[in-house]
Amino acid sequence: MIDGAPVGYLVSVALLAFCTGTALVGPRPARTTPSYWGFWATFLINELPFLALYVLAGDSILAFAEGDLATAGGLVSFAFAVITAGGLVVLIRRALPTGVVVRRALADDAGIETAMRRRAWGHILLAPFSVRRRDVVRIGDIAYGDAGRRNLLDVYQRQDRPTGGPVLVYFHGGGFRRGHKRWEGRALLHQLAARGWVCVSANYRLNSYPDAHVDAKRVIAWVRANIADHGPVIVSGSSAGGHLAAMVALTAGDPDFQPGFAEADTSVDGAIGFYGYYGRVDGPGSSPLDRVRDAPPFLFLHGDKDSSTLVEDTRELVGRLREVSAQPVVYAELPGAQHTFDLVYSLRYSYVVDAVAAFGAGLRRH
């Protein structure tokens, strides 16, 4: 204790207060950037305000039990703890409208009515890091190309192996410099598989264009050749993976991205971008904005507080696609959402999972 201040309690409260305040303000860079301090300060607390509240309450109870709140420094720390708790409640309130936002977007942009499931509050409140399901099996590390571990994919399916459901192909983020098929989106893959989908999550080559895009095409070709007894094939991805998903959907059969397998069917029935990056990764032609055309149905989900890939970039692609595509372009701008909102099974992400399931069901009916 320094000058009557309980140092441990003060540091804990100060750290939570800083992260909460930053999340509330939502500072963003002038343009899309792969790494921004605001992201690192807020990406966890923005999706896990409940856990932050637990930590704050536990620390305060411990400080009270040890008599720290009887000091001037302890009282000041407790006052900041109360203010921080109020900020965390605001973060929770920001996530609550997500269900309304995604339902309205699906209805207005694609005529898809969404029946939201009851929230699994026990899961959300007590076990957000637990994303696996006992009724889902993962067949791991299947080779789809010859680039070693960068050409491996995992398949998620319910244990009773139902047929006829949609197929979701997912590509991880990481700015084309890092990432792995078992990072983001795992809650989505397990939840959809439990609902009868087949989900595929794939690695791809990094740090070189167009190798990642060629690999993405190879994954679709593998799916078309090996999972033929299912419904629509939907390509998806987060951040850089969203770029891959959009490019795959916009370049079906393009020989530039299919060297040695130009005859393979790499078409998809729909595409989903989670907080995607849609700019150029090389020269002209390396951005979805360069490839805009009549396309399969799209679903875009992006947070209005994203401080890595800015929401304005997604708005631009959505606007361009709506000008030329005859198929639905669904856009849901998620209130209060930061980059990588799909790391854990949070309140916000539970609504996103339902939206993806509804989008797939709509494609299946179509």
3-state helix, strand, coil in the chain (%, to 5): 45, 15, 40
Asked if residues 184 and 131 have their Cβ atoms less than 8 Å apart, the reply is no
**Shared-domain flag, residues 281 and 345:** yes
pLDDT of residue 5: 62
Neighbours of 144 (CB within 10 A): 21
* 359: nearest Cα among 6, 135, 105, 68: 105
Is 123 within the bounds of a domain?
yes
* 112: nearest Cα among 321, 266, 298, 243: 298
Is 198 within the bounds of a domain?
yes
**Shared-domain flag, residues 11 and 119:** no
**Shared-domain flag, residues 198 and 324:** yes
| Residue 179 CA: distances (Å) to CA of 22, 124, 207 | 26, 25, 11
**Shared-domain flag, residues 238 and 115:** yes
Taking the C-alpha atoms of residue 82 and residue 86, their distance in angstroms, rounded to an integer, is 6
**Shared-domain flag, residues 55 and 155:** no
Helix-then-strand count for the chain, H and E:
11, 8
**Shared-domain flag, residues 241 and 257:** yes
* Burial of 50 (C-beta count, 10 Å sphere; 0-12/13-18/19+): middle
Tokens encoding 201: 């999550």
Give residue 310's domain range.
98-365
Active-site positions?
Answer: 239, 306, 339
pLDDT of residue 366: 62
Beta bridge partners of 198: 157, 167
Instruction: Indicate the helix (H) or strand (E) that contains 252.
Output: none
Is 332 within the bounds of a domain?
yes
Instruction: Spell out the long-range contacts of 147-152 with Cβ–Cβ below 8 A and sequence spacing 24 or more.
Output: 147/205, 147/211, 147/215, 149/203, 150/203, 150/204, 150/205, 150/206, 150/215, 151/203, 151/204, 151/205, 151/215, 151/218, 152/181, 152/202, 152/203
Is 22 within the bounds of a domain?
yes
| Domain end among 28, 60, 95 | 95
pLDDT of residue 235: 98
Taking the C-alpha atoms of residue 227 and residue 169, their distance in angstroms, rounded to an integer, is 11
Is 1 within the bounds of a domain?
no
Beta bridge partners of 167: 198, 233
- 10-residue stretch averages of pLDDT, the chain, 366 residues long: 71 96 96 92 97 96 90 91 98 97 96 87 96 96 97 97 93 96 95 97 96 98 90 96 98 94 96 97 96 96 97 97 97 97 96 96 80
Task: Report the phi/psi class of residue 232: left, alpha or beta, with left for phi > 0 and alpha for psi in -120 to 50.
Answer: beta
Is 324 within the bounds of a domain?
yes
**Shared-domain flag, residues 84 and 213:** no
**Shared-domain flag, residues 156 and 16:** no
* Burial of 82 (C-beta count, 10 Å sphere; 0-12/13-18/19+): exposed
| Domain end among 95, 125, 150 | 95
Amino acid at 42: T
Helix residue spans in the chain (DSSP H): 7-25, 37-47, 49-65, 72-95, 98-110, 121-126, 186-194, 211-226, 240-250, 311-324, 347-365
**Shared-domain flag, residues 102 and 56:** no
Is 225 within the bounds of a domain?
yes
CA 56, 60, 63 angle in degrees (round to 5)?
Answer: 140
pLDDT of residue 4: 57
Is 2 within the bounds of a domain?
no
Query: How many domains does the structure of the chain reveal?
Result: 2
Residues near 20 by beta carbon (within 8 Å), at least 6 away in sequence:
45, 49, 52, 84, 87, 88, 91
**Shared-domain flag, residues 251 and 171:** yes
pLDDT of residue 113: 87
Taking the C-alpha atoms of residue 178 and residue 88, their distance in angstroms, rounded to an integer, is 31
pLDDT of residue 272: 98
**Shared-domain flag, residues 90 and 175:** no
CATH assignment at residue 237: 3.40.50.1820
**Shared-domain flag, residues 57 and 124:** no
| Domain end among 67, 95, 123 | 95
Asked if residues 241 and 177 have their Cβ atoms less than 8 Å apart, the reply is no
- Sheet with 270-274: list strands edge to edge: 136-143, 152-158, 198-202, 167-171, 233-238, 270-274, 298-303, 329-334
* 236: nearest Cα among 82, 107, 132, 353: 353
